[in-house]
Structure 1
Amino acid sequence: MSETNDTVRGDEALARGALAAGIGLVTGYPGSPATAVFDRLLEMSGSASADPLQAQWAPNEKVALEMAFGASLAGTRSLVVLKSVGMNIALDPLATISLSGCHAGMVILLGDDPGAWSSQNEQDSRWLARVAEVPIIEPISVEQATPLMAQAFAWSEGLGLPVIVRITPALIEAQGIPDEPWVLPPTHRRFLRRRNRWVVLPAAVTRWHRRLHRLLRQFQDMLEASPYDVGEGGVAGDRTAVVAVGATRIKLCALLGETARRHRILGLSSSWPLPDEALIDWLRGLEQVLVLEEGGPFIEEQLHALAHRAGLSVRILGRMDRKVPEEGELSPANIVGALAHILPPEKLPQAPDARRDMPSRTPLCDDCPYTPAFEALLEAMERQGGRERHIVIGETGCMVRANLPPMELFDVKYSLGAGLGMGIGLAMNDRRHRVVALLGDSSFFHTDINALPQAVQMNLPMAAIILDNGTTALTGGQAHPGSARDERGRPRVAVDIAAVVRGYGIEPLVCAADDSAALAQAYDDALTADEFRVIVVRGPCPRHIDEE
């Protein structure tokens, strides 16, 4: 156990494990629930040491993963911090990196968001990880989080494979006393030069793929004796049991309290590949097994297949037969409802009320610079034929709060950085409406920038309004390329969004968010022009930007 015997949250426990592993770079893109771990690493690592941790928020998750892989090739252990939907962006390089493998340890901290508390979907990203054929582990407790994070780097470096540590908000918000991790020895920090070792070409893909499968089998063998899969409780002769995957074990044990030891429970951290032989031994003799996991029936499907191959007659219950709801985060009521299928009524715990507010239902801050900019836009649309004549596209970020009453601003909103691309498609095919694409500054650098040359080249009658508040505000004020301070708050030269737009061959109009006259004129011009117009609205976020 920890020598200091201090109780910490899950985010700090994970950060401790990464530091014990000796990481030299942490990168990623902000998004709940994983951002908190990056923030803790900044707090705990400092910048005054002889060899400070390099901490860099990347423009998007693809760039982050590629930066981390480059660091790994240079012999530096690296951590990528991203959320569920960010995995979609990172999948492109990851599906190839898994073939060649890495050099120094490389771990992806993947924060899924069951219930979509701060996401546009509630995807289970484990399926994407399996597409890329990357191992996945899920800490089952705060106590385990620190050593398992360090172990992930040891596994990664030992086999030369990236490893995913999947988390959910339940782990981040839980508290406990972390177990002491192994402190990994330092790496040599040098590039491994070997002819074609890091060159992935079509002629070699099958050979690389065969190598990957061999390494995954080795990883699976290691998991057969993993101390991080914890079977506990129950009495001799029990015929029912629960598999609690990752942080669902935290929820289950909190609900059962002292009675947890009376039930046969397997806290499973090894999500893929599964430790088949160990699980067959555990399943043997059971009649019913309830699988509790956040997301889809990822483990449940594997257990069905495993039991069938092993000739076991055990009945697997979970999301596939709707004993557990297929949608939403597992609530205490959901867990009690699922337990009712394997336990008598007198053994069921009481489910506490676990309601909470969705962040997207929180209005804009009273002093938000976006507010006057949105109000001016609504007024301009009324002057130019009325609100119904316009299609307003929004994006992920603080602007989503303007879709609440009374503004109810959006007609279309999907994913981060999708506004400009969707706007082009709408403007090409709907000439009855004027398309207005609202782009955040961080989302502009994330993905919208890729659609900008297309928009300039096509020159359709539409408007792009880039809201530049100098930070990634919704997730806590993290830096992006256009921020004047870096991840540790040190001043730096910001990338000028207007200059970037200008470089693509279009002159943007720059307005202050509180200049109502300039905004009115700019909006009126953009909403009536026969060509593509870009307006950059600047208003520093008072919550996160110090203008002294």
Structure 2
Amino acid sequence: MTKKLLMGNEAFAHAALEAGVAVVAGYPGTPSSELIETVAKRVQAGAAENVHVEWSTNEKAALELLAGASYAGARTLFTCKQVGLNVASDPLMSLNYVGVEGGCVIYVADDPGPISSQTEQDTRRFASFAKIPALDPASVEQGVEMLPCAFALSERYRTPVIMRPTTRVCHSSTFVDVAEKTQGAPVKGFSKDDSRWVIFPARAYRGHKEINGRLAKIADEFSGVCASETPSGLPSEDLSRFNPIENHGDAPKIGIACGGVSTAYAKEALSILEHAAKQAASAADVAGGERGEALPSYRFMQIGTPFPFPEVRVDEFLDGLDAVIVFEELDSVIEDGLVHVAGLRAARGKSAPRVLGRASGACRDAGENDADDIVERLSKFFDEALLRREGVSGDELMRKIEERANARARAREAEAPNLDIELPARPPVLCAGCPHRGSFYACKQALKKMRVRGIFSGDIGCYTLGNAKPLDAVDTCLCMGAGITMAQGLGVADPAAKQLAFVGDSTFFASGITGVANAVYNQHDITVCVLDNSTTAMTGGQPHPGTGNTLMGPKSAPLSIERVLEALGVECIEFANPHHLDESIDAVTKAVSFEGPSAVIFRAPCVNLVKPEAPVSINAETCTVCKKCITSIGCPAIGFNGEVATIDETLCTGCGLCTQVCLFGAIAPARQSA
């Protein structure tokens, strides 16, 4: 073993390899992407043997591939981000009914914030909907411990198992012990069994009953109650260590429940409050005054296995408590579970505490939690507990809680340094030299010259940034591949407008082909603009079928976008280098003028794949300060110093688009300006 400083996703990759994973597949999506990339590096270095790893065409393809490998007994790992699970949901729902043979872990990284996603959907809810066990690590260390348990749990109950870290767990770093070499676990091979592997209605009915039965036993394992038998015959395991309970002080009457990284935030907040209470007590001792109130006794629980909910363990946590506050991110999953168990306790004549959290309005109902916010919410929670203990209630209780909160706010404001600094805004923008900028600008200019109105349907990727001014060239964005089909619907409802749909090269293969087929089949008059920059740029430059590069080393023949379009029946296909403005405008004009489905393939590599050319230069004498170069294309390498336009040579890639936009020839390539 060697100790290494690893990002969460990297650490989880090592944990999966050490657990004997043999087949790994997924589709890039922040914050999950580094896991597969780490596995690939280990395979290429010869440190992970008997392991197949790939970026699949999309999440659905990846999970179906892994289902087949699992049927044959291989330990498999699927990776995606939360919205990627939507794409894989079709096979996942049926896979749970059929079951698995080799351990199958569904690694889904949720993105509170959201930091780089369309939604804040909570995979814990998906787990409940799909009836699939879910693990929710609070830290990298706990996630590393959970992964081998997830594979073992999957094999014991022949069920897929979801592991759901969030961005701050995936992208935080810590020291982890890693093995020098790993081996994929031996695979016994597929055994034909029509009664098990073929999902006819009778099999689905039987599978549903199997699901319900195993979930009850898994919930017991999560609570520390060992099952008498499992579907595989393998012994059950006490997994209650992922749902730890701690008592702080004597006879606590209040509780704090947490899930995921909010556990770390809450513990940090408690440390801050405890330190503040000790400081206040020490100051009072020195001054000879009253010591004030210490923190009340409390009980703390992390729920690391949110589904199936560990009711027996939670019942133990709730026993004797008057109130519980819940800190979790995205949805009120733990809060709802606690309310359910509290209701069961009440029905049995036991004490039932009040449960406060996101649904009740006591905690944030969207975005990420943080320690500072939890400090204030815990302060109010503790204030209420102490005041109730003193007999304060009703309106007086609310008034005093608010008074204390206001006093803390005034104290913070008085202690805060007076920094009269306004940080500059840094909106997201396409990179200097990005070929997408020329594609969008050419499309707008073509429609302007044609004197027609257009609607630009966008998609998920770097090119979504085309919606920002001055380009203002993305009118819709829903989900991957939707731009092509949404353009068809917009064309039906608004036939007077020309419909242009933008899709990246990776997204074209992932989820765009079906929309093109639909356009040809139903003869929708749309123009598909494929922005081919030879990579999956938004998530870190991963390969895709159009590049031919694979994670296993050998290069396959790249799939041709134009040949796919031809095979689907698209008759008008134009090509353009988006850095060549007139060429691009001409291509768009021809494609938009064509009646029926057409396409423009804008082809130029991502700036991160090529060496930049010499930067352009501004002729100060020729520049008229019209600012068209700035207000037309919005390249971050172009600025203004109050007198003339300027070029930031550290950003400029020499793409030359601005030289074609300038009406007065004031911008020239470096080689012409000498």
Question: What's 2:590 paired with?
Answer: 525
Q: Aligned pair in 2 of structure 1 residues 369, 489: CA closer, same or farther (>3 Å)?
A: farther
Q: 5+ unaligned residues in a row in structure 2: which ranges?
A: 225-238, 276-294, 384-403, 418-422, 613-674
Q: Which residue of 2 aligns with 1:494?
A: 558
Shift of 1:490: 4.8
After TM superposition, list the pairs within 5 Å mapping 1:144-543 onto structure 2. 144-178=142-176, 186-225=185-224, 226=239, 227-232=241-246, 234-257=248-271, 264-311=299-346, 312-344=351-383, 361-385=427-451, 389-487=453-551, 490-507=554-571, 508-543=573-608
Q: Is the CA contact (8 Å cut-off) linking 1:7 and 1:176 kept in structure 2?
A: yes
* TM-score, normalisation: structure 2: 0.75
CA distance in structure 2 between the aligned counterparts of 1:65 and 1:348, rounded to whole angstroms: 51
Aligned pair in 2 of structure 1 residues 185, 434: CA closer, same or farther (>3 Å)? Answer: closer
Query: What is the match of residue 236 of structure 2?
Result: none
User: What letter matches 2:30 in structure 1?
Assistant: S
The alpha-carbon deviation at position 114 of structure 1 amounts to 1.4
Contact 1:17 1:150 in 2 (8 A): yes
**SS of residue in 1 equivalent to 2:117:** coil
Question: 1:91 touches 1:128 (CA, 8 Å); kept in 2?
Answer: no
Q: Structure 1 residues 514, 6: CA separation in 2 closer, same or farther (over 3 Å shift)?
A: closer
Question: Separation in 2 of the partners of 1:51 and 1:12?
Answer: 17
Other structure's SS at 1:273 match: coil
List per-residue Cα deviations over 1:237-296 (Å, max 9, x = no partner).
221221110121122233444767975321221110111111101110111111111111
Q: Report the secondary structure of 2:306's partner residue.
A: strand
Amino acid at match of 1:503: A
Deviations along 1:342-393, one digit per CA (max 9) or x if unpaired, are: 123699998999xxx9x9942111121212222211211211216xx11111
The separation in 2 between residues aligned to 1:203 and 1:4, in whole angstroms, is 51
Query: 2: distance between equivalents of 1:313 and 1:206?
Result: 37
Q: Report the Cα offset of residue 506 of structure 1.
A: 1.7
Aligned partner of residue 530 in structure 1, secondary structure = coil
Structure with greater Cα Rg: 2
Bigger mean CA offset, 494-503 vs 536-545: 536-545
Answer yes or no: is the 8 Å Cα contact 2:110–2:166 preserved in 1: yes
Moved more, 397-406 or 510-519: 510-519
Q: Deviations over 1:384-437 (max 9, x none)?
A: 216xx1111111101012211211111111111101110111111211211111
Match of 1:8?
6
Q: CA deviation at 1:107?
A: 0.3
| Contact 2:262/2:329, CA 8 A, preserved across alignment | yes
Matches within 5 A, 1:14-163: 14-48=12-46, 51-163=49-161
Aligned length: 538
Structure 1 residue identity aligned to 2:506 = S
Paired with 2:59 and 2:274, the residues of 1 have a C-alpha distance of 39
Paired amino acid for 2:450: Q
| Alpha-carbon distance, 1:113 to partner | 1.2
**Letter paired with 1:325:** R
- Say which SS state the counterpart of residue 191 (structure 1) adopts: coil
Contact 1:140 1:268 in 2 (8 A): no
Over residues 281-335 of structure 1, what are the superposed CA-to-partner deviations in whole Å (9 max), with x where a residue is unaligned? 1110111111111111111111101111122321110011111121222234432
In structure 2, do the counterparts of structure 1 residues 361 and 22 end up closer, same or farther at CA, with 3 Å as the change threshold?
farther
TM-score norm. by structure 1 comes to: 0.92
Structure 1 residue identity aligned to 2:533: N
Q: Is the 2:31–2:171 contact (alpha carbons within 8 Å) kept by the matching residues of 1?
A: no
CA contact (8 A) 1:467 1:536 kept: yes
Residue 233 of structure 1 deviates from its aligned partner by 5.2
Structure 1 residues 185 and 81 mapped into 2: Cα distance closer, same or farther (>3 Å)? closer
SS of corresponding position for 2:446: helix
Counterpart for residue 615 of structure 2? none
Aligned residue identity for 1:449 = I
- Compare 129-138 and 259-268 and name the one that shifted more: 259-268
Deviation (angstroms), 1:45: 3.8
Q: Which runs of 5+ in 1 are unaligned?
A: none
Structure 2: which amino acid aligns with 1:530?
E
State the shift of 1:147 in Å: 1.5
Separation (CA, whole Å) in 2 of partners of 1:314 and 1:80: 39
Shift of 1:50: 8.0
SS where residue 382 of structure 2 aligns?
A: coil
Contact 2:109 2:170 in 1 (8 A): no
Matched residues in 1 for 2:473 and 2:492: separation? Answer: 22
Contact 2:531 2:603 in 1 (8 A): yes
Separation in structure 1 between the aligned mates of residue 20 and residue 10 of structure 2, nearest angstrom: 15
Q: 1:20 to 1:49 in 2, by over 3 A?
A: closer
Matched to 2:210, the amino acid is R
Over the matched positions of the two proteins, sequence identity in percent amounts to: 30
One-letter amino acid of the structure 1 residue matched with residue 579 of structure 2: D
| Partner SS state of residue 196, structure 1 | helix
CA contact (8 A) 1:137 1:270 kept: yes
Question: After the TM superposition, which of the residue ranges 528-537 and 506-515 deviates more from structure 2?
Answer: 506-515
Structure-1 separation of matches of 2:106 and 2:408 = 37
In terms of mean alpha carbon deviation, does 370-379 or 411-420 score higher? 370-379
1:519 & 1:6 partners in 2: Cα distance? 49
Asked if the contact 1:147–1:180 (Cα under 8 Å) also holds between the matched residues in 2, the reply is no
